[in-house]
């Protein structure tokens, strides 16, 4: 459990830095092309990691069903939601899009309760409310309209939520690195197919050296992100993992203050504090319930 929390906490830090860097890297680049190129580079890095640490045999041992699952993870986690998310962000404000995405903790919690039988109590619900309220204050949502853009971002959020639940199930018999490889590799293939059929793939040839540099730099962070997250998700509850990831917003805000001279308003400070408190509450009481259940099972067996 400690290993899982530590890995996902590292993911949150990487996520915060990555969001900050991607804001610069995606400028003047087709976001679909940017994402597809990053996913493919990360897939190559993950494959190299499997070979380097002599775990390539784990890919050879996968059966047809497991390969099918990896393709499906790539479809619902590494391609479709990215296309929906970026299209949606073109139609609504970044703040609205970000808040809709942050509601993932709610949908993952509901799906985990149904399909993973994860326990939910009053303390967890309180932590969830504090976490969502913190994001609301941090992003300063003044108005919210149910537009096409909002629906597209919401659909992407649901796709990613389903992916987390399915990934948690698959991690019982699959290593985190293999699952991450499947998500990134097949996800990049689906995105490139989309670019091909929409006549956007030719944009790859017009990428400048600085743009390629941003793709490589952000790919490094994405590689660390998926490696730590999926290996951490293997050991902790899905809802706990998503709650810890919310701390990434805190890191991004701090970087904006330090490097972009952003001023931290009172409502943002309250929002950041609420995110930290909510994330810690969910992590503490969610994993505590697992320990209590495990101890009770041991006592029953004894």
Q: Is the dihedral of CA 240, 243, 245, 250 positive or negative?
A: negative
Q: What whole-number distance in Å separates Cα of residue 157 and Cα of residue 168?
A: 17
**Surface-to-core class of residue 300, CB atoms within 10 Å of its CB (0-12 exposed, 13-18 middle, 19+ buried):** exposed
Q: What whole-number distance in Å separates Cα of residue 103 and Cα of residue 278?
A: 13
pLDDT digits (tens, 9 = 90+) for 175-195: 999 999 999 999 999 999 999
Q: What whole-number distance in Å separates Cα of residue 29 and Cα of residue 26?
A: 5
Instruction: Provide the pLDDT for residue 138.
Output: 87
The helix or strand, by DSSP H or E, that contains position 186, with its residue range, turns out to be helix 176-197
Q: What whole-number distance in Å separates Cα of residue 44 and Cα of residue 63?
A: 21
Q: What whole-number distance in Å separates Cα of residue 302 and Cα of residue 285?
A: 26
Q: What whole-number distance in Å separates Cα of residue 100 and Cα of residue 96?
A: 6
DSSP string, 79-126: THHHHHHHHHHTTS-HHHHHHHHHTHHHHHHHHHHHHS-----HHHHH
Instruction: Provide the pLDDT for residue 143.
Output: 62
Instruction: Provide the pLDDT for residue 159.
Output: 98
Helix 148-170 × helix 209-233 angle, to 10°: 50
Q: What whole-number distance in Å separates Cα of residue 301 and Cα of residue 168?
A: 26
pLDDT digits (tens, 9 = 90+) for 246-255: 999 999 999 9
pTM above threshold 0.75: yes
Contact 184, 74 (CB under 8 A): yes
Q: Which 3 state secondary structure label does DSSP give 234? A: coil
Q: What whole-number distance in Å separates Cα of residue 43 and Cα of residue 188?
A: 8
pLDDT digits (tens, 9 = 90+) for 64-97: 999 999 999 999 999 999 999 999 988 888 878 8
Residues of the chain falling short of pLDDT 70: 141-144, 287-302
């Amino acid at each position: 459990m400690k290993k899982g929390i530590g890995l996902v906490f590292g993911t949150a830090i990487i996520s915060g830095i990555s969001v900050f860097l991607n804001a610069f890297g995606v400028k003047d680049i087709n976001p679909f092309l940017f994402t597809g190129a990053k996913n493919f580079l990360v897939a190559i890095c993950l494959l190299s990691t499997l070979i380097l640490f002599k775990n390539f045999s784990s890919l050879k041992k996968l059966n047809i069903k497991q390969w099918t699952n990896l393709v499906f993870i790539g479809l619902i986690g590494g391609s479709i939601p990215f296309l929906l998310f970026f299209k949606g962000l073109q139609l609504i404000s970044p703040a609205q899009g970000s808040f809709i995405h942050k509601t993932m903790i709610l949908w993952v919690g509901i799906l985990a309760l149904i399909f993973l039988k994860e326990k939910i109590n009053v303390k967890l619900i309180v932590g969830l409310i504090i976490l969502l309220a913190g994001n609301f204050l941090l992003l300063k949502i003044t108005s919210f309209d149910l537009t096409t853009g909002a629906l597209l971002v919401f659909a992407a959020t649901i796709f990613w939520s389903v992916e987390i639940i399915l990934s948690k199930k698959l991690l019982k018999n699959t290593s985190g690195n293999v699952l991450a490889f499947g998500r990134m590799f097949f996800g990049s293939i689906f995105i490139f197919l989309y670019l091909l059929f929409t006549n956007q793939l030719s944009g790859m040839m017009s990428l400048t050296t600085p743009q390629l540099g941003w793709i490589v730099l952000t790919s490094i962070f994405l590689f660390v992100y998926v490696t730590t997250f999926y290996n951490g998700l293997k050991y902790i509850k899905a809802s706990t993992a998503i709650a810890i990831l919310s701390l990434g917003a805190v890191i991004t805000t701090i970087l904006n203050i330090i490097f972009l001279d952003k001023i931290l308003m009172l409502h943002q400070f309250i929002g950041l504090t609420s995110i930290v408190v909510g994330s810690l509450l969910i992590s503490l009481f969610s994993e505590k319930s697992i320990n209590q259940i495990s101890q009770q099972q041991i006592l029953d067996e004894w």
